[in-house]
Amino acid sequence: MVILSASSTVRAALDTQPRLPYNPNAPRKVKKIPNGNSFLPPPSPAPSPGISISVADLLKRPSSKEITVDVDDTYMGYETWSPSPPKLEKPRSVFNPASLAFIGDSIYELYARRHFLFPPLSIEDYNDRVRAVVRCEAQYALLNKLVDDDFLTKEERDILRWGKNLGSARTRTRRRAGNAVYNKASSLETLVSNTSI
């Protein structure tokens, strides 16, 4: 049996003034200047002791070392920044078509994002353009163009055939585009990953 004494006190933390949730659209508290009509220019940095060189002289000065970049290592004049994939002799013997299609999908989307990086756009426009290219219908159209123009080698056509037969769970994409379109788009993703690995 538990006996409680009357002299014991119960201590609890009660928040009598709950904190309002963060609202990013709330107006910010701006620090007021004592005299609201006066304009305070930003403080100028103190001159540093030493050599003072004008900006025009800096722009005229030739660079101290020459930078040479291989043409193969650039894309649109910029250095490539994607990591080099591991080289495998026979990726078809190591991976199944579903895993290659998974990797190929990410590689394809990475190149699509990189392609639409210039000119700078709003995020919504950028995302709409990338999604329009990455959709399975667009991949299906690209694959049909490659096949119709006889652009692919016999080995690449074998990879397409191998990648087309992969089976996976039902997705919204299959219901939207159909099984044939989805399977051919997956075969293109398999080809992309197989050629990049």
What CA–CA distances, in Å, run from 10 to 4, 7, 18, 28?
A: 11, 10, 21, 40
Report the predicted TM-score, pTM, of the whole model to 2 decimal places: 0.55
What percent of the chain shows pLDDT beyond 90? 24
Tell me the fold of 96-196. Answer: Ribonuclease iii, N-terminal Endonuclease Domain; Chain A (1.10.1520)
Evaluate whether 189 touches 139 at the Cβ level (below 8 Å).
yes
Q: Which of 105, 125, 148, 158 is catalytic?
A: 105
Taking only the tens place, the pLDDT of each residue in 16-66 is: 555 556 666 666 666 665 665 555 555 555 555 555 655 556 555 555 555
Between 165 and 194, whose confidence is greater?
194
Q: Where are the domains of the chain?
A: 96-196
Whether residue 57 lies in the annotated active site: no
Evaluate whether 98 touches 168 at the Cβ level (below 8 Å).
yes
Evaluate whether 124 touches 114 at the Cβ level (below 8 Å).
no
Q: What's the DSSP call for residue 72?
A: G
Evaluate whether 189 touches 108 at the Cβ level (below 8 Å).
yes
> How confident is the model at residue 50, as a pLDDT?
55
Taking only the tens place, the pLDDT of each residue in 187-197 is: 999 999 988 87
